[in-house]
Chain A
Amino acid sequence: MEATGAEIVVRCLAEEGVEFVFGYPGGAVLNIYDEIFKQDKFKHVLVRHEQAAVHAADAYARSTGRVGVALVTSGPGVTNAVTGIATAYMDSVPIVVVTGQVPTAAIGLDAFQEVDTVGITRPCVKHNFLVKDVKDLAATMKKAFIIAATGRPGPVVVDVPKDVTYHTTDFDYPATIEMRSYNPVVKGHTGQLKRAVQMLLEAKRPMVYAGGGVVLGDASEHLIELARLLGFPVTNTLMGLGGYPATDRQNLGMLGMHGTYEANMAMQHCDVLLAVGARFDDRVIGNPAHFAREQRRIIHVDVDPSSISKRVKVDVPIVGDVKNVLGDMLSLLKQAKERPDSAALNAWWTQIELWRSKNCLNYNRNSPIIKPQYVVEKLWEVTQGDAYVTSDVGQHQMWAAQYYKFDKPRRWINSGGLGTMGVGLPYAMGVQLAFPDAQVACITGESSIQMCIQELSTCKQYRIPVKVITLNNRYMGMVRQWQEFFYGSRYAESYMESLPDFVKLAESYGHIGMRIDKPEDVEAALKEAFSPALKERLVFMDFQTDQTENVFPMVEGGKGLSEMILAEEL
């Protein structure tokens, strides 16, 4: 049946079972918007800035495991979206971004709202397409969804010139498409799997280091089964939080720059390291030369071969989908007659408990000023550890990661790789729309929240009742912390002057604002915000927190994992 390009875009999205399209109209996409107007298969969410459209689609994908979709117009629509695309790229999140383009005849002529979208997005997408012929449109959309969701997931941009949206062709949406150049490895190599299992069974000081790949690859259950079967300690990366339950005794907490003492020490001193869906990045292992000083054998499981032996040399590389690989490892382990040396394992756990007894996340609970950690702890209690938590970037992000104990995957939504301030509120929108009945909290700071604060308007329009938890210390806290430690306390441009009255601001958007000044009011305020009475309302909570609080432990840039700065003894 004949269809226009615009109809094809809309019908492809419907065929893919898309629930929400986050977008913003403009000249080049008017035909597509006209088709959106005529259909009822998916809901369009009008954001207030294209960056937020991509962030919201990204959070929808992170929280549901399905491909998120954003739609923006050409030129500035695209450049605004780039931050969102790069954010999704760094954290391997499957999204499809449909971008309008000037008509094919005008491409290259510096037309109004023209930008080289394929060129500008190339370094921050998994793949991108410029569709020059309407006959290629349906197949390209199919490829975009396949590429985004399979292998190591990532963003795919489909750039559609305006004339293509009104040209017509026969529409036939393919069920699948073979691409000779794109065949991600899914199954681990049998020989390597056997070597890995042997190595795990021989371990005397084992450690499991689980990253975002466990969450993205839905491999959490396999990971839990494997760790419990072997009795091994587990650490999660910032991106992997929730991949292994935080409240489980075998979990040593997050590792890395602001990881726990026990997790970092165990990473440094283990003799066999099983890395799953993680990439040994600079924030995780610090200085690779220092990390390499201790002898250890490393098994590295990842779906992306280029993540293996990039920063750290490994002994047993296994390329494959982490869920498949862990499943195969489990079968081999169950067949094996040997078990890990229990005496050695007990001695290792004794050592770990000694490290854990440092209680490195302790802080002053009797402070007359609100401690940010306290707010996060109370949030965890009030929400029974069952909320979806998004964050922005900075100190509050680290406190959220350290003090909100995530027991389930896909509950912690943050920008780990790119570190994009401003994601928190649009992330919360994407999650809340996907899970309308869930508790969704956006833990943010007074600086980050202002980077996408216009989305309070979107939340009003679509009645998105997220709870914004602002840890307001009147500073770009992480910048301030580095300036205190490494720049002689010269706080260059990190003080946030002229803040708005957030209560009035929230109210002006039709939401509820609360200002909390005293520690004794924290719990009651949170309970009220999450009470059934306010279930349908967005509550903006402005917590006045301690300006001088720092995030500990801390591994200084360039230092080794075991060279942590700890909080002063309390």
Chain B
Amino acid sequence: MRHIISLLMENEAGALSRVAGLFSARAYNIESLTVAPTEDATLSRMTIVTTGSEEIIEQITKQLNKLVDVIKVMDLTDGPHIERELMLVKVKAVGSGREEMKRTADIFRGRIIDVTDATYTIELTGAGHKLDAFLEAIDPAVIIETVRTGASGIGRGERSLKV
């Protein structure tokens, strides 16, 4: 099962390596991991996408909570939540393909943020499967490079993770 785990931790040097080290030492999966300081610069917010049985996920949340720098852990998958990921895609855009690419980007509510006479760079935001769908919708031969941030997640409604 895929789980999205959100956590707040002290924004200290090495905080990321404690989490990453825990996952590798205990052989847990990491699909993606994103981290940045919050509005309170002493705190880092991390979103980890992982997979595992219920037992493994329970161990992951307990082990994360055990890290001395971790303040709070929430399995977003336990309730309604929103997840978003940002992708930048650089594609070849020449001839008739140029117009077609623009239309496909529009359908996916992507924005073209850099243009040359031979390329577009498209910015797309959404859940991971939407970004996957865009990549499937275009000709793989025109893709020059892609970069994805990994998912960030947040609970719906009143559900929140704060100190």
Give A contacts to B, CB under 8 Å: 118-119, 122-123, 126-127, 130, 147, 179-182, 304-306, 309-310
Q: Smallest Cβ distance from B64 to chain A, in angstroms?
A: 9
Q: In the complex, what residue of chain B is closest to A132 when comparing beta carbons?
A: B13
Judging by beta carbons under 8 Å apart, are A118 and B14 in contact?
yes
Q: How far is the CA of A562 from the CA of B13 in the complex (A)?
A: 49
**Contact status B71-A181, CB under 8 Å:** yes
Contact residues on B (Cβ < 8 Å of other chain), bracket = 20 to 34
Return the chain A residue nearest B13 by Cβ.
A130
B interface list, Cβ under 8 A from A: 9-10, 13-14, 17-18, 21, 25, 55, 58-59, 62-63, 65-66, 68-71, 163
Nearest B residue to A119, CB-CB: B17
Q: Which residues of A contact B163 (CB under 8 A)?
A: 180
Residue of A nearest to B62 (CB): A306
- Given A123-B21, A123-B25, A180-B163, is A309 in contact with B71 using a C-beta cutoff of 8 Å? no
- Contact indicator A304/B70 (Cβ below 8 Å): no
The verdict on A306 contacting B59 (CB below 8 Å), with A119-B17, A130-B13, A181-B10 known, is yes
Residues in chain B near residue A179, CB distance under 8 A:
68
Total A-B pairs, Cβ < 8 A: 37
Q: Could you jot down 19 A-B contacts, CB within 8 Å?
A: A118-B14, A119-B14, A119-B17, A123-B25, A126-B68, A130-B13, A147-B68, A179-B68, A180-B71, A181-B10, A181-B68, A181-B71, A182-B68, A305-B65, A306-B59, A306-B62, A306-B66, A309-B55, A310-B59
Nearest A residue to B8 via CB reads: A181
In contact, B70 and A181 (Cβ under 8 angstroms): yes
Q: Which residues of chain A are within 8 angstroms of B65 by Cβ–Cβ distance?
A: 305-306
CB pair A122 B10 closer than 8 Å:
no
Q: Could you say which residues of chain B place their CB within 8 Å of the CB of A147?
A: 68
Q: Which residue of A lies closest to B60 (CB)?
A: A306
Docked Cα-Cα span, A305 to B18, in Å, equals 19
In the complex, what residues of A have CB within 8 A of residue B58's CB?
309
Q: What's the Cα separation between A127 and B18 when bound, in Å?
A: 10
Q: How far is the CB of A240 from chain B (nearest CB, A)?
A: 22
Contact of B71 with A304 in the complex, beta carbons under 8 Å: no
CA distance A310 to B10 in the complex (A): 27
Q: How far is the CB of B11 from chain A (nearest CB, A)?
A: 11
Q: 19 additional contacts, CB 8 Å, given A127-B68, A306-B59?
A: A119-B14, A122-B14, A122-B18, A122-B21, A130-B13, A147-B68, A179-B68, A180-B71, A180-B163, A181-B10, A181-B68, A181-B71, A182-B68, A305-B62, A305-B65, A306-B65, A309-B55, A309-B58, A310-B59
